[in-house]
C-alpha cells in the first residue's frame, strides 16, 4: 500500500518536474531561427565576411600596411599599395590599398587580420552566405569588401 502511494507521489512529482520545464520553456523566447525564411541573428563578435571600413570623411581607413597579410595564417590576403596624391586621395595617410583581395577559399575566419590592423580598417562583418559554384568567385576584391560611402560623404 505504502508502495503504491509512494509510486503515485513519485510519478506526480516527476510529471510536475518535467512539465515545469516544458511550461517554463514555453514562456521563453524561441531559440530556433527560421533561416532562410527569416534573417538570422548574430552575436556582436561573430566573425563573418570582412568589411573594410571608412573614416568619418568617407576615406578608406586601410593604409596598406600589409600587417593583416603578414598575420594571416592561411595567406589569403593579397594587397597592392599605391601612393595617395592630392588629386587622388583614397586614404588619409600617404598610402592606400590599390588592390585588396581576400581569398575565401582559404580564409579560416580566425580574426588575426582584425587583431593585427593598426587602423581598425578591417573588421569582421556578419556576412556568411558566400558559397559559390566557382572558386574564382570566392576571391573577393576591395570593391566587394569596402563598406559603402556614408550618406554624409556622398555628393
Partner 1 sequence: MAEPIKLSIDGKPVTVPPGTLLIEAAKQVGIEVPSFCYYPGLSLQGACRMCLVAIEKMPKLQTACTTVVTNGMVVHTDTPEVANTRKSMLEFLLTNHPLDCPVCDKGGECELQDAVFRYGAAETRFLEGKLHEEEKKFSNLVYYDRPRCILCFRCIRVCDEGMDVNAYGIGFRAAHSEIIPNRGEQLECEECGMCIDICPVGALTSGTYRYKTRPWEVTYTGTICNHCGDGCRTTLSVRNNVVIRANNRDHSGLNGEFLCVKGRFGWDFVNSERRLKSPLLRKNGKQEEASWEEALTFTVERLKTILAEHGPGAVAVIGSNRTTNEEDYLLQRFARTVLGTNDIDHHRTADFSSLVRALTEAGATDRYATIEDISAAKSLLLIGNDPTHQHPLIAYQIRQAVRQHGARLYIVNSREIKLRRQSSQYLQVKPQGEAEAVRALAGQAPAAQDLCAGGTGALTALADALKKESDTVILFGDEIQGQTVNDLVTCGLTLPGKTRFVALGDYANSRGAADMGLLPDTLPGYQPLSNEKARERMESAWAAKIPAAPGRNIRSIFEGIRAGEIKALLVFGANPVKTFGLDNAALTGLQLLFVAELFRTETAELANVVVPAASFAEKSGTVTNTCGEVQALKRTMRQAGTRSDLEILLALARLFGQRWTYQSPEDVLREIIALVPGYDIPLPSLLVGRAVPTHPEGRPPALERPDLVFSSRDSLFTSGTLSRYSWALNSVDEAKKPYGHAF
Q: Which residues bind partner 1 (CB under 8 A)?
A: 63-67, 69-70, 79-83, 93-95, 118-119
In the bound state with partner 1, the residue whose beta carbon lies nearer, of 2 and 118, is: 118
Contact between residue 103 and residue 139 where contact means Cβ atoms under 8 Å apart:
yes
Tell me the closest approach of the beta carbon of residue 115 to partner 1, in angstroms. Answer: 14
In the bound state with partner 1, the residue whose beta carbon lies nearer, of 91 and 145, is: 91
* DSSP annotation of 147: P
Tell me the closest approach of the beta carbon of residue 103 to partner 1, in angstroms. Answer: 15
Per-residue buried b or exposed e for 102-137, using 16+ beta carbons within 10 Å of the residue's own CB: bbbeebeeeebbbebbebebbbbbeeeeeeeeeeee
In the bound state with partner 1, the residue whose beta carbon lies nearer, of 46 and 114, is: 114
Count the Cβ atoms, other than its own, within 10 Å of residue 142: 19
Tell me the closest approach of the beta carbon of residue 135 to partner 1, in angstroms. Answer: 21
Amino acid at each position: 500500500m505504502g508502495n503504491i502511494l509512494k509510486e503515485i507521489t513519485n510519478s506526480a512529482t516527476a510529471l510536475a518536474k518535467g512539465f515545469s520545464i516544458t511550461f517554463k520553456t514555453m514562456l521563453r523566447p524561441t531559440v530556433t531561427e527560421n533561416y532562410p525564411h527569416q534573417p538570422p541573428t548574430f552575436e556582436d563578435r561573430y566573425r563573418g565576411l570582412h568589411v573594410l571600413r571608412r573614416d568619418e570623411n568617407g576615406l578608406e581607413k586601410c593604409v596598406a600596411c600589409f600587417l593583416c597579410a603578414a598575420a594571416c595564417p592561411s595567406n589569403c590576403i593579397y594587397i597592392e599599395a599605391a601612393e595617395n596624391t592630392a588629386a587622388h586621395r583614397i586614404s588619409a595617410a600617404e598610402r592606400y590599398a590599390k588592390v585588396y583581395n581576400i581569398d575565401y577559399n582559404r580564409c579560416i575566419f580566425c580574426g588575426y587580420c582584425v587583431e593585427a590592423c593598426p587602423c581598425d580598417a578591417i573588421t569582421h562583418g556578419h556576412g556568411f552566405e558566400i558559397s559559390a559554384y566557382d572558386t574564382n568567385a570566392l576571391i573577393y576584391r576591395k570593391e566587394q569588401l569596402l563598406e559603402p560611402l556614408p550618406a554624409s560623404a556622398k555628393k
